[in-house]
Amino acid sequence: MAEQTFDDRDGFIWLDGKLVPWREANVHILTHAMHYAGAVFEGQRAYNGEIYALSEHSARLVRSAELLGYRIPFSVAEIDQACRDTLAANGLKDAYMRPVAWRGSEQMGVAAQKAKVHLAIACWEWGAYFGEEALAKGLRLEIAPWRRPAPYTAPTASKASGLYMICTLSKHHATDNGYDDALMFDWRGQVAEATGANVFFVKDGVLHTPTPDCFLDGITRQSVIRLAKRRGIEVIERTIWPEELESFQQCFLTGSAAEVTPVGSIGPWTFEVGDLTRQMMTDYAALVRGNLPNA
């Protein structure tokens, strides 16, 4: 049976203020963002009919657009409601959601001041991002051939489509070589993140994570830091160099799609799927389902 594509599905997508049939949610081939990487987007999940950290995601979407020089013509509250409406229209309770904003086809060339800004929201059922086996055994990561850019070379605080080009290249390089994903360094050679998720390391019961000064300070990352501190676990945000990787005992990734996923190895370095990692997996799963009060 052929795998279902993302353009040929039943359901509805919210587009510029109204729900339209999934197959009719299209844009023109000369859409500016398609040529000049001007789209911004969010990835978020719904659990039991509630979208986790919804307003945080909507606010970040608005900020990302502003960092790219345009304004989304909907407020955070309106985006929140549009996400809820999209989830309901598709009859989903547990789903992945993709709000995306972009510049349209009114202008071609590098400049885009006259291009209309559009917003769409889609959602679909999506299980474990890396598969269920990864949750038990941990991911195999290689070192990416590409590095995260310096903040003075790109709007690195935005969740912008153009910044994911090197993530796709790195992910393809990893999977072509038999790995699950790749760990990316930054332009200085410091540990940064995976291709679509932040990274944490465990050493002697303490969590260590790179300072997000040239990549996204993920919403899931922030949630996990709060969960760890709630349990009295020390969290150190700092510069991490590759030569330190052999000193860590555990490692895991965090992201709205990845949730909390353990890592078994990065290149030549191996890690155990230990108790602290599993505790963060359990706590995060409880938090997003509303079963962990006051977190």
Q: Which of 93, 159, 171, 229 is catalytic?
A: 159
Give ∠ CA 135-200-192 in degrees, rounded to 5.
Answer: 115
Residue 86 in tokens = 């999209």
Measured between alpha carbons, how far apart are the two ends of the chain, in Å?
Answer: 43
In three-state secondary structure terms, 76 is: helix
- Among 132, 122, 159, which residue's Cα sits nearest to residue 19? 122
Active site residue 159: yes
The answer for residues whose C-beta is within 8 angstroms of residue 194's C-beta and 6 or more apart is: 141, 181, 182, 183, 184, 253, 258
In three-state secondary structure terms, 211 is: coil
Taking each helix axis from N to C end, the angle separating 54-67 and 76-89, rounded to the nearest 10 degrees, works out to 120
Report DSSP state, residue 185: E
Q: In b/e form, how buried is each residue of 87-98, taking b as 16+ CB within 10 angstroms?
A: beebebeebbbb
Would you name the residues annotated as active-site residues? 159
